[in-house]
Amino acid sequence: MMTTTHDTTDGTHGHYTPAERRTVRKNLVGIGMGNLLEWYDWNVYASFTIYIAAHAFNDADPASALLSTLAIFAVGFIARPFGGFVFGWIGDRKGRKYSMTLAIVLASFGSLAIALLPSYETVGAWSSLMLLLARLLQGLAHGGELPSSQVFLSEVAPAKHRGLWSSWIYVSGTTGILAGVLLAAVLNLTLTAEQLDAFGWRIPFAIGAVAGLYTLYLRRNMEETEAFTNIEKSGAPKRNIFSQIWEHRLGALQVIGLTIGITVAYYAWAINAPTYANTQLGMDRGLTLWAGVIGNIVLIVSLPLWGMLSDRFGRKPIMIISAGAALVLYLPIQAWLRNDFLVLVLSVSLMSAILAGALAIMPAMFSELFPPEVRTSGIGFPYALAVAAFGGTAPYIQTYASGQDYNWFPLYTMALLVITLITVFTVPETKGKHLG
């Protein structure tokens, strides 16, 4: 991920000193670990829903307990826009580093609370309430982590390589998803069903909490970005955050427009495709999970390549190619899907590689739309709102539409991709922009 050169303050192309290399590694590891854990926490909850339901709710009615556990999963999505707003405000007032550090504290505390969750048999409805509060904390943290880390990474990246560096957000996040999937697979292989029910399901959350402590240490030792430090040095009075967001409302709307099409397509293909293949096409669950793993590996490999291309040719061409190709190929690839492992792998991998173009550069593109004093706020709330409203509902809508006489979900996704493409044409080219 790290390039060996950087842009010096006089605009020349220089080399990193040993001290600068250490700072770069510290920043990338600190951002990557936190982002990885956020996505890991999100995924392991979904993987162990059945076991959580049996402990946090009355197991006399397993169906009701499962639905209640899934409802609490949805609550985490609802909390994300609030986290985006609150942590965006913190990032613009107290610093990007402070916001990211607080986010990892909340996320780790939420994981620890789930790992130590008392059973419904022991404390009754208090168990359900504790689970709800833990998921609220994780939702707030996840809503705040992404904009804060996106802005931090964009501000410390060399202007000429910001697209490449920006891809680290989804590289680390997708790695977190894979880590959760692989850990779930290992636990299922090494523990009996009784052991998983007794204590095994708590292990992933305990690991998340412990890893969070290490990430906290990393982030406390990171240096604040120069862009925020310059704001503090200027001594300019702090303006009302609502008025600032309103002043930059076009940028906030552009964040939403750029996000909705890509995020729904991403959730449909990179996240929910294995479940769709299992429930709608009748494929073996184990095979569909491996198809998802392969697709996510393709996504990880593709991200930095697209980031480098955006640094050379611009953000807008890459966004147009990525969203446009996803739009044009969506129906043909959807029609090609059938109960065939190789077809599923190729379909998921192809769409993942295409969507990686937009995913890689969105953190840089968003940061380049706003001035430093409102950068995390301007991104945080609209981005988290778009992801919660469209990405969070995508698996449900996809499953519901698939059960109808006519599956209209592809058309729904394509309409959102059209909105994303239209939005791209309203955005100025920002490649190489100085972020202040």
6 - beta bridge partners?
14
410 and 278 share one domain: yes
In three-state form (DSSP H/G/I as H, E/B as E, the rest C), the secondary structure along 26-93 is: HHHHHHHHHHHHHHHHHHHHHHCHHHHHHHHCCCCCHHHHHHHHHHHHHHHHHHHHHHHHHHHHHHHH
CA atoms within 13 A on the CB side of 236: 13
* Residue 5: inside a domain: no
Q: What is the pLDDT of residue 221?
A: 86
Same domain, 147 and 179: yes
Tens of pLDDT, residue by residue over 56-82, are 888 777 777 777 877 887 788 888 889
Q: Which tokens hold the place of 17?
A: 């000193």
Both structure tokens of 351: 């769409």
pLDDT the model gives residue 289: 83
How many domains are contained in the chain?
2
Do 286 and 425 lie in a common domain? Answer: yes
1 in any annotated domain: no
Which structural domain range is residue 199 located in?
16-162+170-223
Q: Are residues 252 and 219 in the same domain?
A: no
For residues 215 and 344, membership in a common domain is answered with no
pLDDT of residue 16: 64
Q: Is residue 345 part of a domain?
A: yes
Say yes or no: 214 and 115 in one domain.
yes
pLDDT of residue 61: 75
Within-domain flag for 432 = yes
Does residue 190 sit in the same domain as residue 278?
no
Alpha-carbon gap, residue 26 to 399, rounded angstroms: 42
129 and 270 assigned to the same domain: no
Whether 135 and 274 map to the same domain: the answer is: no
Please report, in tens digits, the pLDDT of each residue of the chain (436 residues total): 444 344 443 333 446 677 777 888 888 999 999 999 988 987 888 778 888 888 888 877 777 777 787 788 778 888 888 999 899 999 999 999 999 999 999 999 999 999 999 998 899 889 999 999 999 999 999 888 888 999 999 999 999 999 999 999 999 999 999 998 889 888 988 999 899 989 999 999 999 999 999 999 999 888 888 888 888 887 766 777 778 888 999 999 999 999 999 999 998 898 888 878 887 888 887 888 888 899 999 999 999 999 999 999 999 999 999 999 999 999 999 989 888 899 999 999 999 999 999 999 999 999 999 999 899 999 998 998 998 889 888 877 887 888 788 889 999 999 999 999 999 999 999 898 888 6
**What is the domain-level CATH number for residue 22?**
1.20.1250.20
3-class secondary structure, 427: coil
**Residue 235: inside a domain, yes or no?**
no
Domain-located, residue 6:
no
Instruction: Name, in order, each residue with C-beta under 8 angstroms of 203's C-beta and a sequence gap of 6 or more.
Output: 115, 183, 187
Residue 9 lies in a domain: no
List, for residues 172-229, the tens digit of each pLDDT value: 999 999 998 889 888 988 999 899 989 999 999 999 999 999 999 999 888 888 888 8
Q: Which residues are bridge partners to 15 per DSSP?
A: 5
Residues 265 and 347 placed together within one structural domain of the fold? yes
* 268 and 198 belong to one structural domain: no
Q: pTM for this one?
A: 0.87
Residue at 240 is within a domain: no
Q: Are residues 63 and 209 in the same domain?
A: yes
- Measure the CA–CA gap between 175 and 299, rounded to whole angstroms: 10
